[in-house]
A and B are shown apart, each in its own frame.
Chain A
Amino acid sequence: MAERKFTKEHEWIQKSDQIIIVGITEFAQDQLGDIVSIELPQVGSSFKQNDVMTIIDSVKASSDIYCPVDGEIIETNENLLEHPELINKSPYKEGWIVKIKPNNPEQIDSLLSKEQYDELVGQGKE
Chain B
Amino acid sequence: MRSPFFKNHLESKAKIIDFHGWEMPLQYSGIIDEHKNVRENVGLFDVSHMGRFKIKGKESESQIQRLITNDISKIGDKQAIYSPMCNENGGIIDDVIVNRIYSNEFVIVVNSSNIKKDLDWITENVKSCEIQNVTDDYALLALQGPKAEKVLKDVGVEQIENLKSFHLLETKLDGVDCIISRTGYTGEDGFELFFDSKQVQIWEKLLETGTKYGIKPIGLGARDTLRLEAGLMLYGNDIDENISPLEAPLKWTVKFETEFIGKAALEQKKVEKKMRGFEITETKRVARKDNKIYDEEKEIGIVTSGNFSPTLGKPIGYCFVPVEYPLRGKIKINIGDKLYDGRLASTRFYKR
B30 CB to nearest chain A CB (Å): 6
* A-B interface contact total, Cβ < 8 Å: 44
B225 touches which of A37, A39, A55, A59 (Cβ 8 Å) = A59
B315: chain A residues at CB < 8 Å are 36-37, 57
Cβ contact within 8 Å between B284 and A84: yes
A62: chain B residues at CB < 8 Å are 285-286, 288
B48 at interface, CB cutoff 8 A: no
Q: Label chain A's interface by main secondary structure.
A: loop
| Residues 5-59 of B contacting A (Cβ, < 8 Å) | 26-27, 30-33
B221 at interface, CB cutoff 8 A: yes
B307 at interface, CB cutoff 8 A: yes
| Residues 19-69 of A contacting B (Cβ, < 8 Å) | 33-34, 36-37, 39, 55, 57, 59-62
Cβ contact within 8 Å between B32 and A59: yes
Q: A33, A34, A37, A55 — which one has the most chain B CB atoms within 10 A of its CB?
A: A34
Contacts A33-B30, A34-B30; is A57 near B284 (CB within 8 Å)?
Answer: yes
Q: Residues 264-300 of chain B: 1 if any A CB is under 8 Å from the residue's CB, otherwise 0? A: 0000000000000000000111101000000000000
B320 at interface, CB cutoff 8 A: no
B33: chain A residues at CB < 8 Å are 34
B308 at interface, CB cutoff 8 A: yes
Contacts A59-B32, A59-B308, A60-B31; is A33 near B221 (CB within 8 Å)?
Answer: yes
A13 CB to nearest chain B CB (Å): 24
Cβ contact within 8 Å between A57 and B31: no
* Closest Cβ neighbor of B32 among chain A residues: A34
Cβ contact within 8 Å between B286 and A57: yes
A33 touches which of B27, B284, B285, B288 (Cβ 8 Å) = B27
B31 touches which of A33, A39, A84 (Cβ 8 Å) = A33
| Residues 85-121 of A contacting B (Cβ, < 8 Å) | none
- Taken together as a complex, chains A and B put the C-alpha atoms of A39 and B283 apart, in Å, by 9
Q: A55, A59, A60, A61 — which one has the most chain B CB atoms within 10 A of its CB?
A: A59
Cβ contact within 8 Å between B31 and A37: no
Which positions in B face A, CB cutoff 8 Å? 26-27, 30-33, 221, 225, 283-286, 288, 307-308, 310, 315, 336
**Nearest 7 A/B pairs, CB to CB:** A37-B284, A36-B308, A57-B286, A59-B31, A34-B32, A37-B285, A34-B31
21 interchain pairs, CB-CB under 8 A: A33-B27, A34-B31, A34-B32, A34-B308, A36-B284, A36-B286, A36-B308, A37-B286, A37-B315, A55-B336, A57-B284, A57-B285, A57-B315, A59-B32, A59-B221, A60-B221, A61-B288, A62-B285, A62-B286, A62-B288, A84-B284
